[in-house]
Each structure stands twice: as structure tokens, then as C-alpha cells.
Chain A
Amino acid sequence: MAEVLGAFEQAVLLAIVRLREGAYGRAIFREVQERMERDVAAGAVHATLVRLEKKNLLASSLGPGTPIRGGRARRFYRLQPKGLRALNDSRAAADNLWHGLKWPLKGYV
């Protein structure tokens, strides 16, 4: 059965797709914030990353730190085949829901 993704999960996964090799915690956080056009809690992004990794939609590995991070390691995330499938299924489901309707909706109310 296809993995059902929420809007925030899709935002996090799509951020990883866009960032490619540069997909680490803070970069994902900023990308999600910019795309969603609102302030996002770092804890919400972290909790989502942990959950998606547990479901095997993502994999992560540690990379070197930088002086601005006080030398602390960066955790880089990569999309897994299951994650790619879930994103494609989510897009297909949304397209299906909108099929035959002209966007933006007008004249229905």
C-alpha cells in the first residue's frame, strides 16, 4: 500500500530532493521555511526527519562540522527508494483529486 504523506512530510522530503548533497538539518529547516512561507519550529522538522527515517523513507549519515556550528557534526539526509515512491504517490493522489477542476477555483460559492 502507498505511504500516505502529510503536507509537512512532503515539504521535508521535497526539501531533501531540492538540496541533493547539501541536505542537512539546518538547510532542510530553511528550505521548508521558505517554501511554506512561515516560521517553522526546528523541533517539528527534526521530529519529522526522525519519523521518516524510521519508516525507511530516508537515510542519514554524519558529516564534518564547521566553525560556525562550534565544530558540531552535520547530519545529512538522502531520499530512499521508498521515499521517492511515497512522494510520487502523494503527487498522483493530489492530481487525482484535482482532476477536471480549473485552478484557482472560482464561482463555486
Chain B
Amino acid sequence: MSVSATPPGWAEVLLRAVLTPGDFDSVSGDLLEQYRESVHPARGGRRADIWYVTQVLGFVWRNARLWATLLAVAVIARTAMDWLVPPVDFHARANVSTLLGVGILLLAGFWAASRSGSFAAGPVVGVATAAIAAPIEVLGAVTLLAGWHDPMTMAAIRGSGGLEEVLTLPLVMVVPGIVLGTIGGLLGAAVKRLRTA
């Protein structure tokens, strides 16, 4: 047992961002106690740090999974429509799906910050939403491709921006995840402050 053993500071910052102020004290205390009393003595410093970070990421995951699922479903649905029912003009469809994606990321940031009261929850959950959704979106596109790869569908794929766009866009979405999550987070934290004032 070591009272001086300390988990990574940035992980504590992350934990503070996604928990309500009322929960942070007791939850971080529980994690710190487990870290110092059980995990650190049994596994050593490095593995204890990995355990702590994994636990914190579990809290982040619980805040972002619903939004990530929504985002992934929206992106996969758009991909399926573009490939299987290609329009003459992509603009209207692009506008709707962009608005939907922006809305989901804004709401994710807003919801997280209005719960925790910290605007930092916004970018954390925004990034987590985009990062969790990315592999699901790529898997969805690969599954679609495995099922439909006839010449007509392949022409539709090329016409809608190509496979490269479908496979790289999910990774690029992390940037709007930060920006929109931050905006949502600022709004959410402001609303929380107004409610408690």
C-alpha cells in the first residue's frame, strides 16, 4: 500500500470532466483507494496507471456510446443510400446528413456538459463520440461493400466520392468532434449554471 502513489493527472482531469461535481469526489476517491491499496502494490506503477486510465475511459465510453451509435447509424444510412439509391444531385442529401452529424455532436457536448457542469465534458464526449463511431462506420461500409459490389453499385460508389472518402471520413470526424463538442459544452455548462443560479 502506498499513499504517495499517484495515477496520471490527465486521467483525473478527464474523469472530472465527465462526472457531476457531486459524483467526482466519491468516484475519484474510490478509484484512488483501489489504485493505491490493491492495484499498485499488486501490478506495479505502469500497469496500475493503465488500469486507472482504462477505468476512466470506461466512464467516458458510458457518456458517449449512445451518441456514437446515433452518429454511426446516420453515416451508414447515408452511405447505403448513396450506394444503393444514388441521386442525380447529392447536395440536398449532403445538407441533411451534415446537419444531422453536426446536431448529434453538438447535442453530445451539450448533454455531457449540462450533466457535469464542466464545459470540458463537451470536447471530451465530442471526440469520444467520433472516435467510437469511426470503426462502426468503417465496418458498416465494408459490410455494405461485401454485400453489394456489382458494376452499378461500384459506379455509384465512385460517383458519391469513392471508397477513400467513406473510409477516411470517420477518422476526420474527430476534428468536428472537438469543435462541435466544445460549442455544445459551452452551451451546456451555461445552461447548467443558469439552472443552479
Q: Identify whether the interface residues of B are mostly helix, strand, loop, or mixed.
A: helix
Q: How large is the interface on A (under 10, 10 to 19, 20 to 34, 35 or more residues)?
A: 20 to 34
Query: Which among A4-12, A14-22, A64-72, A89-97 touches the partner chain?
Result: A64-72
Q: How far is the CA of A54 from the CA of B33 in the complex (A)?
A: 26
Write the nearest CB–CB distance from B32 to chain A, whole angstroms.
5
- Please, what's the 1-or-0 string for A67-99, where 1 marks a CB less than 8 Å from any CB in chain B? 111101111000000000000000000000000
Within 4-50 of A, Cβ neighbours of B (below 8 Å) are at: 24-26, 29-30, 41-44, 46-47, 50
Once A and B bind, how many residue pairs between them come within 8 Å at the CB atom? 67
B34 at the interface (CB under 8 A from A): yes
Write the nearest CB–CB distance from A31 to chain B, whole angstroms.
12
A41/B25 in contact, CB under 8 A? no
Q: Identify whether the interface residues of A are mostly helix, strand, loop, or mixed.
A: helix
Interface residues of A (CB under 8 A from B): 24-26, 29-30, 41-44, 46-47, 50, 62, 65-70, 72-75
Please give, as numbers and ranges, the residues of chain B lying within 8 Å of A44 by CB-CB distance. Answer: 58, 62
Q: How far is the CA of A9 from the CA of B90 in the complex (A)?
A: 48
Q: Across the two chains, which residue of chain B brings its CB closest to A26?
A: B30
Write the nearest CB–CB distance from B33 to chain A, whole angstroms.
5
Please give, as numbers and ranges, the residues of chain A lying within 8 Å of B58 by CB-CB distance. Answer: 41-44
